[in-house]
Amino acid sequence: MAVFVNELSFSVENTRQHSAESSRIIGKLYQQFIHMFDYSITPEILANKTILITGAGAGIGRQAALTYAELGATVILLGKTVAKLEAVYDEILGNGHPEPAIVPLDLKGATKQNYIDLTSTIVSQFGKLDGALLNASMLGELTPFTQVSEQIWHDVMNVNVNAQFLLAQALIPSLLKAESASLVFTSSGVGNKGKAYWGAYSVSKFATEGMMQVIADEYENSSLRVNAINPGATSTNMRASAYPAENKDSIAAPEDIMPLYVYLMSDDSKAVNAQRLNAQ
């Protein structure tokens, strides 16, 4: 698998300055309008890092897991479907990258204790946690607001908001022990601008961005940085459910949007905090 080229770019919007340390990078990025810049990925840039990825069995999460492993990270693959996680595990081992771990967990029914146990297991097995990509989400149904079913609303909020809340709460103490840690949430184009028929999903992504901002502000002067990615239209099962008639080749593939995912997990983004970043 060769996912990378040396010169890669992604866009940033609505960045703001956070600290004197961050002013150098943010100074470059701060714009009222979308601003493109280049990011060069060096091999092994994630060597010796331990990174948790939720929704690692498919789509963007799967690609992030493969990519982080290719760059030297030990990845912990969390997801709902064991067979999918095993396939990613096999692919990583087959490529000769650090041996990953698998955590089968359905975020819909998981409890606070599940997340606490998960964190203890990570720390006892790997000694530390340097990063977490909270990527797993469910779309629910695209339907007029008055027709959103109560069950779907609760399921979407459970997976997309409550699970992120409990998982982040459990992970933060361990992330704070790492020399430099990154917590990355996953938003959407409908996460800061509501859109007709996107119902619970859109509302859940607003909540995700709010959660990111609250945590980022609380840890502004710590070794933990907290940001959110808006992946943009990317060819996955979720995208196909939302846009069944779309030509997959007309939009980005998961590997195309990896530069931002790598940047936020690498020490190059140490000074970036509280940002909503566009992957394309």
Residues recognised as catalytic: 201
Q: Interface mask (CB under 6 A) for ligand NAP, residues 15-44, using x and -?
A: ------------------------------
Among the listed residues 67, 114, 186, 202, the single contact to ligand NAP using CB under 6 A: 186
Pairing mode, if any, of strands 131-134 and 181-186?
Answer: parallel
Q: Phi-psi category of 185—alpha, beta or left, where left has phi over 0 and alpha has psi -120 to 50?
A: beta
Q: Take residue 212 and report the two structure tokens written for it.
A: 């990111």
Residue 53 is a binding residue for ligand NAP (CB under 6 A): no
Residue 136 is a binding residue for ligand NAP (CB under 6 A): yes
Fill in the amino acid letter for 173: P
Among the listed residues 49, 97, 225, 239, the single contact to ligand NAP using CB under 6 A: 239
Residue 140 is a binding residue for ligand NAP (CB under 6 A): no
The least CB distance from residue 118 to ligand NAP, in Å, is: 12
Measured in whole angstroms, the distance separating CA 180 from the mean position of its chain's CA atoms is 17
Q: Interface mask (CB under 6 A) for ligand NAP, residues 107-126, using x and -?
A: xx------------------
Task: Give the residue among 188, 208, 226, 258 at the shortest CA–CA distance from 10.
Answer: 258
Residue 81 is a binding residue for ligand NAP (CB under 6 A): yes
What is the number of other CB atoms lying within 10 angstroms of the CB of residue 7?
9
Q: Take residue 57 and report the two structure tokens written for it.
A: 């069995």
The least CB distance from residue 179 to ligand NAP, in Å, is: 28
Q: Confirm if 182 and 270 have CB atoms less than 8 A apart.
A: no
State the number of CA atoms in the 13 A half-sphere of 63 facing the CB.
20
| Identity of the residue, 47 or 196, whose beta carbon is nearer to ligand NAP in the bound complex | 196
Interface residues with ligand NAP (CB under 6 A) are 55, 57-61, 79-81, 84, 106-108, 135-138, 159, 186, 188, 231, 233-234, 236-239
